[in-house]
Chains A and B, each alone.
Chain A
Amino acid sequence: METVNIKINGIPLTVPKGSTILEAAKQAHIDIPTLCYLKDINEIGACRICVVEVKGAKSLVASCMYPVAEGMEIKTNTPKVLASRKHTLELILSDHDKKCLTCERSGKCELQKLCNDLKVEDDRLFEGERTHYEVDNTSAHMYRDNNKCIVCRRCAAVCDKIQGIGVIGANNRGFTTTIGCAFEMGLGETSCVSCGQCIAVCPTGALSEKDDTDKVFAAINDPDKYVIVQTAPAVRAALGEEFGFPIGTNVQGKMVAALRRLGFDKVFDTDFAADLTIMEEAYELIDRIKNGGTLPLITSCSPGWIKYCEHYYPDMLDNLSTCKSPQQMFGAVTKTYYAQKMGLDPEKIVMVSVMPCTAKKFEIGRPDENAAGVPDVDISITTRELARMIEQVGLNFTSLPDENFDDPLGRSTGAAVIFGATGGVMEAALRTAVEVLTGEKLNNLDFTAVRGTQGIKEATYNAAGLDIKVAVASGLGNARKLLDDVKSGKSEYHFIEIMGCPGGCVNGGGQPRQPASVRNFTDIKALRAHALYKQDAAMSVRKSHENEAIKQLYDEFLGAPNSHKAHEILHTTYVKRTVNQVL
């Protein structure tokens, strides 16, 4: 690797050529503050918070973009630098809604932290004309409060560049520049797919999921309701971050204990339904391969991906698996099979899901997802909302004991828990499909070619003389690349897994938000995924079709995978949508 010699604050340093000053400073144990910069997503050098002095340069330079050069002398903490950063913050505050006391982001806000760190004392120094924006509440899953927006454009960049959607961007110019949709439409009127990646990257309280925690508390406190909670695989890999655990800590046991103490009548695991999804989807794949059905079969677990497909690839809806997502299957089984078994009235069951996802809030309102005549799932909250509930009731999360899920819908396998990482559904499906096709036990359950955080992965596996060609994409920009290759005939596959968020659910739009100072130097999605693969490796049952509770469900209720009854309860339909409104 080529290197260059530089000096930062007088300390000599050898760093890789091509590094930015920001990266080089990190090596010298200096965290230069940033605001608009987000590695690989928003590299525009616009906010001027990360400015430093470079000897010989005419003015302060943006360290996030400025590459180091041989002999460069950099100063990161001179009075001039510190005054400039502070001045920038004071100007931002001159047109900012400063109701920090009631702001959802308070305490975790990147702007607030910078103001504290840089000792901004007068938050009204440059106050003059103010902008006032209506809060956008039009979508099912989130709100946008531009009064708290600092126009850093991180959200617009992730929407356009990473997800390839671009329904939000900067409108107007100068003082009236604002982030929004075309023709000031509400987000709910656009082809937004509800992935929530914009929320995940927002540094302030401008973007957040719609908080449904009050609804959950109301249900729990209603003596007439039987409140059941399910938690998605990825939640356990990230919830701990909200309580100070290192990124990648699996807090399943404490999460279960917390949910029980919050007052849920039953604490179940979406992993059970993930196993069920594999049964239905693996058999669907085998059926399509054997009987000439539409191929490639594409997974349907990710509601962000499903809505994207409906808007952008309506001609490929037949390729989608008809399986409901695990969240919805779980609700459907709870309100039919479990209700019947326990003598519960489905109308009185409140099904709450805890998801790493904001699109799940949209998904619960989809038509054709009401197996018992009532919605399969009633309330869907994000990992962040669960953390908020735990804080609100004063549970000391870190000292809670580790507890187990309730039976029987809390039983699951290693195949299910890896659903939370990109490639996990594929691997889980292969473990079952290959064994069903060959009739023999697999020696090695690790399909490592489909693991890892790359945006697109492909592999070929042989089973019973058949080469099964598979591909995995995460992040919708990657999905588009993959699908365009399939449509043009450049690539041919039998089975494709697509997840709406880069890295899969572990990096979902509903997961704890890590600030740019962490995101720029840490692969969060890899660390969280590792927690799930570790759990899978340690489990005694690692194949969905060996889950005893699933076998029991088929024996007692559904019959066989893809049976008529299974179709009625566990499968769904899709809607053709357009990218732009038809005028």
Chain B
Amino acid sequence: MGVVKKVPFSGTQEQKTALLQVIREHMHDKGALMPIMQKAQEIYGYLPIEVQTIISDEMNVPLEKIYGIATFYSQFSLYPKGKYRVSVCLGTACYVKGSGDIFNKLKEILGIDDGECTPDGKFSLDSCRCVGACGLAPVIMINDDVYGKLTVDDVEGILKKYE
């Protein structure tokens, strides 16, 4: 059982102080949990177990309730974003042109799943919907660089540029 934790947590005391302040300010507001989780994600960039546990302990809310919300809404992430954020378009045009295979190849090479980050913090992988470049389908983006008309065999070479 359990989510495999691929990235060591490196939260700082400043981040914790900021989070505790947010919690103290808002914990008695009605429906405070979601805004507090949003702020927590702003502070840490993501919501790992360490951060969710602070919220749970401070607010006396079951950790499962927080995790349930974090996994329901796609705006929340359990994993940090990498130095290089790889986004694969799984929109209709890219998908019919084989972006699903490209996505699987990236998962295989990087050894991570959708939404996760490599242990060295270098690459994170996300599936996304249309990026507005259907003419270039299938498309991936790495940070702000766009790569189009790809085949599965192109993937390895593109990643090499970022190592």
Determine whether the beta carbon of A173 is less than 8 Å from that of B71: yes
Partner pick for A172 among B52, B63, B66, B72, CB 8 A cutoff: B72
Q: Which of B36-56 contact A (CB under 8 A)?
A: 49-50, 52-53, 56
Task: Tell me the complex Cα distance, A579–B58, Å.
Answer: 12
Give the chain A neighbours of B122 by CB distance below 8 A. Answer: none
Give the chain B neighbours of A190 by CB distance below 8 A. Answer: 64
Most buried by B among A134, A581, A583: A583
Given A579-B57, A583-B49, decide whether A183 and B3 contact each other with a Cβ distance below 8 A.
yes
Task: Tell me the complex Cα distance, A172–B68, Å.
Answer: 7
Determine whether the beta carbon of A580 is less than 8 Å from that of B63: yes
Given A184-B3, A186-B2, decide whether A580 and B56 contact each other with a Cβ distance below 8 A.
yes
Determine whether the beta carbon of B64 is less than 8 Å from that of A181: yes
Q: Does B109 have its Cβ within 8 Å of any Cβ on chain A?
A: no
Number of A-B contacts (CB under 8 A): 66
Determine whether the beta carbon of A172 is less than 8 Å from that of B1: no
Task: Tell me the complex Cα distance, A436–B79, Å.
Answer: 63
Q: Does B65 have its Cβ within 8 Å of any Cβ on chain A?
A: yes
Determine whether the beta carbon of A186 is less than 8 Å from that of B1: yes
Partner pick for B71 among A168, A172, A185, A581, CB 8 A cutoff: A172
Given A167-B62, A169-B68, A580-B63, decide whether A185 and B50 contact each other with a Cβ distance below 8 A.
no
Write the A175-193 contact mask toward B (1 if CB under 8 angstroms, else 0). 0000001111110011000
Determine whether the beta carbon of A171 is less than 8 Å from that of B2: no
Determine whether the beta carbon of B68 is less than 8 Å from that of A183: no
Write the A540-583 contact mask toward B (1 if CB under 8 angstroms, else 0). 00000000000000000000000000000000000000011101
Task: Tell me the complex Cα distance, A324–B16, Å.
Answer: 42
Q: Does B84 have its Cβ within 8 Å of any Cβ on chain A?
A: no
Give the chain B neighbours of A581 by CB distance below 8 A. Answer: 53
Determine whether the beta carbon of A183 is less than 8 Å from that of B67: yes
Given A169-B68, A583-B50, decide whether A184 and B1 contact each other with a Cβ distance below 8 A.
yes
Determine whether the beta carbon of A183 is less than 8 Å from that of B49: yes
Determine whether the beta carbon of A165 is less than 8 Å from that of B62: yes
Determine whether the beta carbon of A166 is less than 8 Å from that of B62: yes
Task: Tell me the complex Cα distance, A189–B2, Å.
Answer: 10
Determine whether the beta carbon of A189 is less than 8 Å from that of B1: yes
Determine whether the beta carbon of A134 is less than 8 Å from that of B57: no
Task: Tell me the complex Cα distance, A93–B3, Å.
Answer: 28
Give the chain A neighbours of B57 by CB distance below 8 A. Answer: 579-580
Given A171-B68, A171-B71, A583-B49, decide whether A182 and B63 contact each other with a Cβ distance below 8 A.
yes
Give the chain A neighbours of B73 by CB distance below 8 A. Answer: 173
Determine whether the beta carbon of B65 is less than 8 Å from that of A169: yes
Give the chain B neighbours of A185 by CB distance below 8 A. Answer: 1-2
Given A172-B71, A581-B53, decide whether A166 and B64 contact each other with a Cβ distance below 8 A.
yes
Task: Tell me the complex Cα distance, A579–B57, Å.
Answer: 8
Determine whether the beta carbon of B67 is less than 8 Å from that of A171: yes
Give the chain A neighbours of B52 by CB distance below 8 A. Answer: 182-183
Task: Tell me the complex Cα distance, A580–B72, Å.
Answer: 21
Write the A181-224 contact mask toward B (1 if CB under 8 angstroms, else 0). 11111100110000000000000000000000000000000000
Query: Which of the four size classes fits the interface of chain A?
Result: 20 to 34
Task: Tell me the complex Cα distance, A165–B62, Å.
Answer: 7
Write the A295-335 contact mask toward B (1 if CB under 8 angstroms, else 0). 00000000000000000000000000000000000000000
Give the chain A neighbours of B1 by CB distance below 8 A. Answer: 134, 136, 138, 184-186, 189
Task: Tell me the complex Cα distance, A185–B62, Å.
Answer: 13
Write the B97-130 contact mask toward A (1 if CB under 8 angstroms, else 0). 0000000000000000000000000000000000
Task: Tell me the complex Cα distance, A173–B67, Å.
Answer: 12
Give the chain B neighbours of A136 by CB distance below 8 A. Answer: 1
Task: Tell me the complex Cα distance, A136–B72, Å.
Answer: 21
Q: Does A115 have its Cβ within 8 Å of any Cβ on chain B?
A: no
Give the chain B neighbours of A184 by CB distance below 8 A. Answer: 1-3
Give the chain B neighbours of A368 by CB distance below 8 A. Answer: none
Query: B64 to nearest A CB, angstroms?
Result: 4
Determine whether the beta carbon of A182 is less than 8 Å from that of B67: yes
Determine whether the beta carbon of B64 is less than 8 Å from that of A580: no
Task: Tell me the complex Cα distance, A182–B72, Å.
Answer: 12
Give the chain B neighbours of A189 by CB distance below 8 A. Answer: 1-2
Determine whether the beta carbon of A160 is less than 8 Å from that of B65: yes
Give the chain A neighbours of B49 by CB distance below 8 A. Answer: 182-183, 583
Query: B133 to nearest A CB, angstroms?
Result: 27
Q: Does A170 have its Cβ within 8 Å of any Cβ on chain B?
A: yes
Query: B129 to nearest A CB, angstroms?
Result: 15
Task: Tell me the complex Cα distance, A471–B64, Å.
Answer: 31
Q: In the complex, which residue of chain A has the Cβ closest to the Cβ of B60?
A: A579
Give the chain B neighbours of A182 by CB distance below 8 A. Answer: 49, 52, 62-64, 66-68
Q: In the complex, which residue of chain A has the Cβ closest to the Cβ of B68?
A: A169
Determine whether the beta carbon of B53 is less than 8 Å from that of A580: yes
Determine whether the beta carbon of A169 is less than 8 Å from that of B64: yes
A-B contact pairs, 16 of them (CB 8 A): A138-B1, A160-B62, A166-B64, A166-B65, A170-B72, A171-B64, A173-B71, A182-B49, A182-B67, A183-B52, A184-B1, A186-B1, A579-B56, A580-B57, A583-B9, A583-B49
Which residues on B are within 8 Å of A, measured CB to CB?
1-3, 9, 49-50, 52-53, 56-57, 62-68, 71-73, 78
Which residues on A are within 8 Å of B, measured CB to CB?
134, 136, 138, 160, 165-173, 181-186, 189-190, 579-581, 583
Closest 6 CB pairs of A and B: A166-B62, A186-B1, A182-B67, A182-B63, A182-B64, A169-B64
